[in-house]
């Protein structure tokens, strides 16, 4: 985890370079589509920090996402465009604040109980927007004027939003990578491996976990802001447990314990959905797209214990036998 191998570095550079060049060849929809995946990737990264690196399985990430998104709509003026320079930090702060509240309480519990308490707090947020007129109720609420900064960075233009999102995706990735290699990150890794031992050696883990939780919530809020700006529409379903669940699926599918796992998982999950939904490939059977997706997921679990990030190893093993794994370990 702490040394980035050449292969991983090459993958990341290729990956981000590919994303940076993509709009040159993509159509209007392609740009939209990848913007969406990048937002999910940011969200998946925020969850990966907790699940993959601290061992805290949060089942309420959608709430922070939703708060960021609703913040963007509710804090924007009705009849003019807000500057993202203050709106974005405000949304992140709102999500982080709720994360502080949720984290402070739910970190008292452990394991599955933690999963369920985070779910409970997410459901509370969900019902507040679902059942009260505050956020437009069940039909959701529109963002009529997308935020901009004078005319230099106008987020209502798809390409601008694409690169804006990409910058934040890279920023999030680099930020988390640095964070995890810092003293703070090593403490988190220690908590993940054996919290009891940390506590026994006089290391008070609670503030570290809480800080990680708030960071994660804030990043999820950032993703929510971007999503609201992209769609210009928010709905209570953004906070539903289905999304929290899908995010967990993404990072497990990608491979836990690696930041790239979150990136791969988000892209793979959404690509697989699009693939199985495609009329062009499956014809009238495309309406049963969940079947293909489900079978693929089952096959992934059965064959790839480490998630998709273990795919190169797996292919190698099939082609050249077990040898490579050993040399890898030695090098």
Partner 1 sequence: MDLSTFLIQCLNALQYGLLLYLVAMGLTLIFGIMGVINLAHGSFYMIGAYMAFALAPMVGGNFYLTLILGVVLAVVLGYVLEWAFFSYLYDRDHLQQVLMTYGLILVFEELRSILVGDDVHGIQPPELLAGTLPLGDIMTYPVYRLFVSGMCILLALGMYYVFSRTRLGMMIRAGSVNREMVQSLGIDIQFLYRVVFAAGVAIAVLAGMLAAPISSVYPGMGNQVLIICFVVVVIGGIGSIRGAFFAALLIGFVDTFGKVLVPEASGVLAYVLMALILLWKPNGLFKAG
Partner 2 sequence: MKYKQMFRVALLASALLGASLSAYAEDNKPIKVGFMLPATGTYTALGNAIENGFKLYVSEQGGKLGGRTIEYVKVDDESDPAKATDNINKLIKSDKVDVVVGTVHSGVAAAMAKVAKETKTLLFVPNAGAQAITGPMCAPNIFRSSFSNWQPGYAMGEVMAKKGIKKAVTITWKYAAGDESIKGFKDSFTKNGGEVIKDLNLPFPNVEFQALLTEIAALKPDAVYTFFAGGGAVKFVKDYKAAGLMDKIPLYGAGFLTDGTLEAQGGDAEGLQTALHYADKLDNPKDKAFRSAYETAYKDMVPDVYAVQGYDAAQMLGIGLAATNGDVSKQAELAAAIEKAEIDSPRGKFTISKAHNPVQDIYLREAKGKENVVVEVASKALADPATGCPLK
Residues 282 and 60 sit within 8 Å (Cβ to Cβ): no
Q: Is 204 in the site for partner 2 (CB under 8 A)?
A: no
Q: What is the DSSP letter of 256?
A: T
Q: CA–CA separation, 174 vs 212, rounded Å?
A: 16
Give the shortest CB-305-to-partner 1 separation in angstroms. Answer: 6
- By rule CB under 8 A, what count of residues binds partner 2? 51
H/E stretch holding 47: helix 28-51
Quick one: CA dihedral 163, 233, 117, 203, positive or negative? positive
316, 53, 1, 317: which is closest to 209 by C-alpha?
53
Query: Over the Cα atoms of the chain, what is R_g?
Result: 20
Q: Is 134 in the site for partner 2 (CB under 8 A)?
A: no
Site for partner 2 in 280-319 (CB under 8 A): 280-281, 286-287, 289-290, 311-312, 315-316
Q: Is 20 in the site for partner 1 (CB under 8 A)?
A: no
Q: Is 16 in the site for partner 2 (CB under 8 A)?
A: no
Spell out, one character per residue from 87 to 126, where the chain touches partner 1: x when CB under 8 A holds, - when not: ------------------xx-xxx-xx-xxx-xxx-xx--
List, as one string, the DSSP characters of 72-115: HHHHS-SSSPPBHHHHHHHHHHHHHHHHHHHHHHHTTS-HHHHH
Site for partner 2 in 244-283 (CB under 8 A): 267, 271, 274-275, 277-281
Classify residue 287 by burial, with Cβ atoms within 10 Å: 0-12, 13-18, 19+: exposed
Give the shortest CB-135-to-partner 1 separation in angstroms. Answer: 15
Question: Distance between the two ends of the chain, CA-based, in angstroms?
Answer: 15
Q: Is 129 in the site for partner 1 (CB under 8 A)?
A: no
Spell out, one character per residue from 294 to 313, where the chain touches partner 1: x when CB under 8 A holds, - when not: xxxxx-xxx--x--------
H/E stretch holding 149: strand 148-149
Residue 178 interface partner, choices partner 1, partner 2, none, CB cut-off 5-8 Å depending on type? none
The contact set with partner 1 (CB under 8 A) reads 51, 57, 105-106, 108-110, 112-113, 115-117, 119-121, 123-124, 127-128, 130-131, 241, 245, 248-249, 252-253, 256, 288, 290-291, 293-298, 300-302, 305
The contact set with partner 2 (CB under 8 A) reads 6-7, 10-11, 14, 18, 26-30, 32-33, 36, 127, 130-131, 137-140, 142, 230-233, 235-238, 240, 242-243, 267, 271, 274-275, 277-281, 286-287, 289-290, 311-312, 315-316, 324
């Amino acid at each position: 985890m702490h040394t980035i191998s050449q292969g991983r570095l090459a993958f990341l550079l290729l990956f981000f370079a590919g994303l940076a060049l993509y709009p040159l060849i993509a159509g209007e929809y392609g740009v939209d589509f990848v913007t969406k995946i990048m937002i999910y990737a940011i969200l998946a990264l925020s969850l990966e920090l907790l699940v993959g690196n601290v061992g805290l399985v949060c089942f309420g990430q959608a709430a922070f996402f939703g708060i960021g998104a609703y913040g963007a709509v509710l804090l924007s003026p009705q009849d003019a465009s807000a500057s993202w320079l203050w709106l974005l930090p405000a949304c992140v702060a709102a999500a982080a604040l709720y994360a502080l509240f949720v984290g402070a309480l739910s970190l008292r519990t452990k394991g599955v109980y933690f999963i369920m308490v985070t779910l409970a707090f997410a459901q509370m947020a969900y019902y507040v927007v679902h059942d009260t007129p505050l956020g437009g109720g069940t039909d959701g609420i529109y963002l009529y004027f997308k935020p901009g900064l004078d005319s230099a960075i106008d987020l209502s233009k798809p390409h601008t939003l694409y690169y804006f999102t990409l910058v934040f995706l890279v920023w999030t990735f680099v930020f988390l990578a640095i964070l995890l290699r810092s003293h703070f990150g090593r403490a988190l890794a220690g908590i993940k491996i054996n919290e009891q031992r940390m506590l026994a050696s006089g290391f008070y883990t609670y503030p570290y976990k809480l800080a990680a939780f708030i960071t994660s919530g804030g990043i999820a809020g950032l993703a929510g802001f971007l999503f609201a700006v992209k769609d210009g529409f928010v709905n209570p379903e953004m906070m539903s447990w289905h999304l929290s669940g899908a995010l967990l699926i993404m990072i497990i599918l990608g491979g836990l314990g690696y930041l790239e796992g979150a990136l791969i998982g988000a892209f793979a999950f959404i690509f697989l959905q699009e693939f199985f939904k495609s009329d062009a490939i499956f014809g009238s059977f495309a309406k049963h797209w969940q079947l293909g997706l489900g079978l693929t997921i089952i096959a992934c679990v059965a064959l790839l214990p480490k998630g998709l990030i273990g795919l190169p190893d797996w292919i190698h093993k099939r082609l050249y036998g077990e040898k490579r794994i050993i040399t890898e370990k030695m090098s």
